[in-house]
Structure 1
Amino acid sequence: MEFLAEYASFLAKTATLVIAILVVLSAIAGMRGKGRRKPGGQLQVIRLNEFYKELRERLESGLFDKAQLKALRKQQAKAEKQQKKAKASDKSEEKSRVFVLDFDGDIKASATESLRNEITALLTLATPRDEVVLRLESGGGLVHSYGLAASQLARIREAGIPLTVCIDKVAASGGYMMACIGEKIISAPFAVLGSIGVVAQLPNVNRLLKKHDIDFEVLTAGEYKRTLTVFGENTEKGREKFQEDLDITHQLFKDFVGRYRPQLHIDEVATGEVWLGIAALNRNLVDELRTSDEYLSTRAREANLFHVHYAERKSLQERIGMAASGTLENTLVGLWSKLGRLR
C-alpha cells in the first residue's frame, strides 16, 4: 500500500507539472496571438474509391495464397487497362462525380460554418451530371441555426445538382428540416426521423424569490419585448403571445417541409412525433431504406467519389488546450489502470 500511495503521488505531481506548463504556454500563445488570428481553414479532399479499393485488396491478401493473389492482381490490372483504353476512346463514358459531405449537428448547428464552405467550393465545379451526398446526423436544435444550415443545402438544389441525404442514426426536428431538402432521402431501417414540431421551455423562480422577499423588475419598451421570463411574474397574456409565436414558427416549419416534400401529408406527420426508418418510409418521410455505407459502396462502382471536408484552422492556444485536456485524461486513465492492477 505504501508503494501504491507513492506511485499515485508521483503521477499526480507529474500531471500537475505538465498541465501547469501547458497552461502557461497557452496563456503566452493567447497574448501573442491576440488580434492576429487569421480566419479560415483548409479544404480536404479524399478519393473514396481508393479507400474501398484498399479495403478489398486487404481482404484479398488475407484470403488468397501468393499464387492466387498474383493471378488476381494480373487479371485486375488487365481489366483496369481495358477500362482506361475504353475511356480514352469514348469521352461520353467518363464517370460522373459524387461529392460526399458530413454534417454532425449539435444544438447550435455548429457544423454549418464548415458546411457553407464545402458547398461554396463544390458549386464552383459540380454540374447536374454529378451528385452531392450528405451524411446527416442531428437531433435538431435552435431554429435560426438549422434554418441557415438548411438554406446552405438549398443552394445545391437551386444549382440543379442532385442531392441525396443519408441518415444512419437520427435526423429529427432541425435535422429533418435539413434532410427534406434532399431530392432523395435514404435512411437506415432503425434511424429516428421526424419531430416536425417546435418546443420551448424555461423555469420560473418568481414564487421562490417572493418567498425570500427578493424583488425582480423587468423594464421593457414594446408591448411584447418580453413575454415569459425566468425571474419575473408571468402573465396569461404573455403566455398566449409566447404560444402564438411557437405556432407561427411551427407553421413556417410545416410550410418549409411541405415545399420540398410535397408527397407528405404534412398535417399527419407534423405532430412532433418521431418514427423509425421502417415506419418513416410508410409515411413518405424517406424514400429508401439503406445505410450510407451500402449506398456509397454501390455508387463507387459507377462513379468517382470524393469526400470533401473543410477543417477549421485552430489557434495555438486551442491546440495547447486540447493537448492539456488529453494529457489529464490519459494520466487519470493510467492511474486508474495501475490502481486496479495493484489492488
Structure 2
Amino acid sequence: MDFLLEYAGFLARAVTVLLVVVVILSAATAMRSRGRTRSGELTVSSLNEFYSDLKDSIEHSVLNKAQLKALKKSKKAKQQQEKKSGTEKKRIYVLDFDGDIKASAVDSLRHEITALLAVARPTDEVVLRLESGGGMVHSYGLAASQLARIRDAKIPLTVCVDKVAASGGYMMACIGDKILSAPFAVLGSIGVVAQLPNIHRLLKKNNIDVEVLTAGEHKRTLTILGENTEQGRAKFLEDLQTTHDLFKQFVVQYRPQLDINSVATGEVWLGTDAQQQQLVDQLQTSDEYLSACAANADLYALEFVQKKSLQERVGLTAGAAAEHIADKGWERLQRRFLG
C-alpha cells in the first residue's frame, strides 16, 4: 500500500508544478500576443526532383553500369541544350486542399494563392489537388472565392479530383478552366441540406417551458427547443431554396456548358458518368497529369503552414511532459513492486 501512496504523492507534486508553469506561461503568452496576428511559413518544394528521384531509384536497380553511364551522358547533353536555348520553362504551382466540413484548409490556401499570384505569369499554370465532400456554405464560398482570384488573374487553373469533390467541394472544382477526375471519384451533389433535432414535445411532456424571444419576423425560423410553426418551416425552406439557386448560378457562371437543371438535383456521379454529364473534362489522376507535365515544365508544390502560438506549443509540451512524468512514476512503481 505504501508504494501506491508514494506514487500518488509523486504524481500529485509533479502535476502541480507542471500546472503552475503552464498557467504562468499561458498568462505571459496572452499578454504578448495582444494585438498580434498569427503568421506562418510558406514552403516550396520541387516536384521535378521528387519524380526524378523516383525514376533514378528504379534506373539504378534495373540498369547496368554501361546503360547508366549512357543515360547520365544523355541527361547532361539535354540539360546543356536547354541552357543554351535560353527558353524559360513553364511553371506549374501545385496546391493541395483537403476539405473538412468547415473548409479549414482555406486558412492556408488564401496565403498560398497570394504568394503564387505575386510571381505567376499567364504562361504558367496552377494545379489544385482537391478532396472534399463539402460543408458549410459560407466557408466553401470563401474557398471558392480564393480560387476565383486565380481565374481573375488570367492564370490557367486545373483542378484534379482523385477521390471526391461534392457539394462545396464541387463549388470549388467548377472554377477550374479544366477539371480532371479519377474514374471512380465522386462528384456533384449540387444541392443544399439542413437538419436539426427538435425536442419540444419531450420538454412539454416533462412540464419544461422554453421561451424563444425575437425581434424581427424571421429572426428565428426553426429551433431545437421551441415549438416550430408552419410559417417558420416555410421560411426555412425558402432560405434553402435561395441558397440552392445561388449555388446553381455560381456553377453555371464557370461551367456554362452544363445542363444545370439536370445536374443540380443533389445527386452525385462517379468520374465516368460525371464526364458524360460534363461535370468534368477528362478522366485522369493527378499523378498521371503531373508526372507527364514534369517532362516539360517546372513543378513547385506550395504549402503554407500556420505557426502555433506559444500557448499551443506549451499545451503540447505540457501534455508530453505529463505523460513522461506518469511513465516515470509507473517505472518507479514497477521497480519497487517487482523488486
Matches within 5 A, 1:127-142: 127-142=121-136
What are the Cα deviations for residues 260-287 of structure 1, in whole angstroms up to 9, with x where unaligned? 0101000000000111111100000000
Match of 1:306 in 2: 300
Letter in 1 for 2:28: R
**How many residues of Structure 1 are paired with residues of Structure 2 in the alignment?**
319
**Percent of aligned positions that are identical:** 62
Match of 2:42 in 1: 43
Pairing 1:78–2:72 present: no
CA distance in 2, matches of 1:187, 1:30: 47
Secondary structure at the counterpart of residue 160 of structure 2: strand
Q: Which moved more, 1:193-202 or 1:123-132?
A: 123-132
What are the Cα deviations for residues 70-120 of structure 1, in whole angstroms up to 9, with x where unaligned? 33223322322222222x3xxxx3211111111111111111111111111
Letter in 2 for 1:63: V
Match of 1:154 in 2: 148
Q: How far is 1:133 from its partner?
A: 0.5
Match of 1:33 in 2: 29
Match of 1:164 in 2: 158
Q: TM-score, normalised by structure 1?
A: 0.85
Q: 2:131 touches 2:163 (CA, 8 Å); kept in 1?
A: yes
Unaligned ranges ≥5, structure 2? 331-339
Match of 1:294 in 2: 288
CA distance in 2, matches of 1:274, 1:247: 19
Kindly tell me: are residues 197 and 24 of structure 1, through their superposed partners in 2, closer, same or farther at Cα, counting changes over 3 Å? Answer: farther
Q: How far is 1:36 from its partner?
A: 2.3
Secondary structure at the counterpart of residue 126 of structure 2: strand
Q: How far is 1:325 from its partner?
A: 6.3
Matches within 5 A, 1:4-23: none
Letter in 2 for 1:96: K
Secondary structure at the counterpart of residue 181 of structure 1: coil
Secondary structure at the counterpart of residue 69 of structure 1: helix
Pairing 1:232–2:231 present: no
Secondary structure at the counterpart of residue 239 of structure 2: helix
CA RMSD of aligned residues (A): 2.7
Secondary structure at the counterpart of residue 157 of structure 1: helix
Q: 2:165 touches 2:187 (CA, 8 Å); kept in 1?
A: yes
Letter in 2 for 1:31: A
CA distance in 2, matches of 1:68, 1:172: 48
Matches within 5 A, 1:133-282: 133-282=127-276
CA distance in 1, matches of 2:146, 2:11: 44
Match of 1:285 in 2: 279
CA distance in 2, matches of 1:296, 1:157: 20
Q: How far is 1:192 from its partner?
A: 0.6
Kindly tell me: are residues 199 and 20 of structure 1, through their superposed partners in 2, closer, same or farther at Cα, counting changes over 3 Å? Answer: farther
Q: 1:131 touches 1:162 (CA, 8 Å); kept in 2?
A: yes
Q: Which moved more, 1:58-67 or 1:246-255?
A: 58-67
Q: TM-score, normalised by structure 2?
A: 0.86
Kindly tell me: are residues 235 and 254 of structure 1, through their superposed partners in 2, closer, same or farther at Cα, counting changes over 3 Å? Answer: same
Match of 1:338 in 2: none
CA distance in 2, matches of 1:288, 1:17: 64
Q: 2:22 touches 2:318 (CA, 8 Å); kept in 1?
A: no
CA distance in 2, matches of 1:194, 1:131: 25
Q: Which moved more, 1:15-24 or 1:170-179?
A: 15-24
Match of 2:105 among 107, 111, 115: 111
What are the Cα deviations for residues 201-238 of structure 1, in whole angstroms up to 9, with x where unaligned? 00000000011100000000000000000000000000
Secondary structure at the counterpart of residue 221 of structure 1: coil
Match of 1:339 in 2: none
CA distance in 2, matches of 1:73, 1:282: 45
Kindly tell me: are residues 265 and 20 of structure 1, through their superposed partners in 2, closer, same or farther at Cα, counting changes over 3 Å? Answer: farther
CA distance in 2, matches of 1:18, 1:289: 59
Match of 2:333 in 1: none
Matches within 5 A, 1:314-333: 314-322=308-316
Secondary structure at the counterpart of residue 34 of structure 1: helix
CA distance in 2, matches of 1:145, 1:36: 30
Q: 2:222 touches 2:228 (CA, 8 Å); kept in 1?
A: yes
